Structure 1
Amino acid sequence: MRHVGNKMGDDREEEEKEGRDRKLKGMELEEEEEEEEEEEEEEEEEEEEDVNKQTLVPSSGKASTQQVHHSTGWVNLYNNNMNSRA
């Protein structure tokens, strides 16, 4: 009878260990995913900063020091140049 009891206890311990291992693996995967997301966000921020730091050279030959946003900056700079010529 003792032998059977010990074996059942061993099975239970093994199942608990497997459960902990699975939980740890799941946590590790979540951490890796979070790290990847953070890296992607940092890369996107760096790309936006690079675009914003670019300077344009208008037809007058003088470099523009205005910061450019990738979506609307070009139109605004064009309009500003056209208005300054008039």
Structure 2
Amino acid sequence: MSSRRSRISEEEINELISKLHSLLPESRRRSGASRASAAKLLKETCSYIKSLNREVNDLSDRLSDLMATMDTNSAQAEIIRELLRS
């Protein structure tokens, strides 16, 4: 069974790297260098995604703690449920 893989041109790779770079927050971008290497950019992106994941987990834990101490029939609980449905 042979599978055909479409090749991505160097120009497409450069465009994707540029788009990825633009998605990183300013604090994660390397200043001074007009363009970071693809490997460094990928490492920075992985690091940023891991930090976002930690933040999501922390916020989820905090929300769970808040919901555990709240009356489930309260107006605040209903607001939180509506926000989570959005």
The TM tier, using the shorter chain, reads 0.3 to 0.5
What TM-score results when the alignment is normalised by the length of structure 2?
0.40
| Larger proportion of helix | 1
Bigger radius of gyration among the two: 1
Task: Give the number of the structure with larger relative contact order, counting CA–CA contacts within 8 Å between residues 6 or more apart.
Answer: 2
What TM-score results when the alignment is normalised by the length of structure 1?
0.40
